[in-house]
Amino acid sequence: MGFLNLITPQKKNVEPISAQQPGPSKKYLLDTLGEVCPFPLIEAKRAIAPLNSGDELQIDFDCTQATDSIPAWAAQNGHTVTDFRQVDAASWTVTVKKA
């Protein structure tokens, strides 16, 4: 009898976009390019948790399902999508402001 091994990607680091940001809120980048769905959403949930209210998380991804799942998750959790763009034929960027 075989066993099913679940493979999960390594946790992604969330990097500040700029070290010299004015004001109290900060903007961070989460690069999930190359991750299959649902991992961009899973990583976004993990990455936004420790951020302060008003901080922004820019999520770069190339998983088509995340074009629906990330904005829906943000809305359901009271976060605001402040930017959502298709970068090229198969990648997008969405910025979520934490509630």
Catalytic residues: 37
94 closest CA partner among 34, 41, 49, 42: 41
What does the alpha-carbon distance between residue 70 and residue 64 come to, in Å, rounded to a whole number? 11
Q: How many alpha carbons fall within 13 Å on the CB side of residue 28?
A: 23
* Cβ-contact 70, 42 below 8 angstroms: no
Give the full edge-to-edge strand order of the sheet including 15-16.
15-16, 27-31, 56-61, 91-97, 80-88
